[in-house]
Amino acid sequence: MATKGKALESKFKTIEGVRVHYQETGQGYPVICLHGAGPGASAESNFKDNVDAFSQHLRVILFDMPQYGKSEKVVLKEGRLKYTARILNSFMSELGIESAHFVGNSMGGQVALKIGLDYPERTSRIVAIGSGAVPPVMTPFPAEGIRMISRYYSGTGPSREKLRILLESIVYDSSFLTEETFEERYQASADPEVTELFGKKQGPIPRESLYAELPKLKAKFLGVWGADDRFGALDVGIQIARMVPDGRLHMFTKCGHWAQVEHAEEFNRVVLNFLLN
């Protein structure tokens, strides 16, 4: 798949015996983009509308978390946040990166916060998009969308019908869900290695809350939320922005879980203003 500008070369590093996939473009201070945990997710698919704008000012690194994209489909035996933050710490050492900005969608935002807490010297600024790093106060938990993700590989397994319902709940305006995006995500989610991992091999992953740790975050924080997000409740963004020492929140109305897609142009301006100033 290509970004709006050009196709990006696939690169790989082996960290803790696990082969991880990444792509990069641009020059300058690094920003590492982390995708969510939905079926068929990858960093390139999550941030294809943002890479060109970011890369005009920054070295953009698209990182596929283990189990996703072109990274190895390893079985996790510990919490995803702790594990992935540790992998990222070693990954940055492999690339000679001392510190970076992080932009994470959903689960990726939680991972960004975790690396900021566990490895504060690695993080400068963190942008989290609809990330459920703490339990919501005003909505059911787990969120509606998260429950749909957990059911995707159960029963009869992946199907186009299941995925269409799930992806249409991610966005406020379903016109942003193109057939190309839908088919790309379906093919990735229905890959035999992926269905074997999530349908059979991977057991329950320990749930991790960052609630007690957030007041210790040293990185500057920007939360970006859609007012109609059915995966990461808006009050979670408010809580995080209040709890961290240096936080702010930008809310988009008529917006679901993919602010970086549904409001790409303004999202790019807001995020770059935060990262560069």
* Residue 159 resides in a domain: yes
Angle of helix 80-95 versus helix 107-118 axis, rounded to 10: 70
For the beta carbon of residue 141, count every other beta carbon within 10 angstroms.
Answer: 13
* Residue 5 resides in a domain: no
Q: Record the tokens describing residue 205, joined without a space.
A: 């992953």
* Residue 82 resides in a domain: yes
Number of domains in the chain: 1
Q: Record the tokens describing residue 273, joined without a space.
A: 């203003």
* Residue 2 resides in a domain: no
* Residue 271 resides in a domain: yes
pLDDT in tens, 8-21: 999 999 999 999 99
**pTM score:** 0.94
Q: What is the CATH number of the domain that holds 215?
A: 3.40.50.1820
Range(s) of the domain holding residue 144: 11-276
Q: Tell me which residues of the chain have a pLDDT lower than 50.
A: 1-2
Measured between alpha carbons, how far is 104 from 114 in angstroms, rounded to an integer? 11
Query: What sections of 76-138 are H helices per DSSP?
Result: 80-95, 107-118
* Residue 267 resides in a domain: yes
* Residue 142 resides in a domain: yes
- Torsion-angle region of 40 (φ positive above 0: left; ψ -120 to 50: alpha; else: beta): left
* Residue 4 resides in a domain: no
Catalytic residues, which ones? 257
pLDDT in tens, 45-92: 999 999 999 999 999 999 999 999 999 999 999 999 999 999 999 999
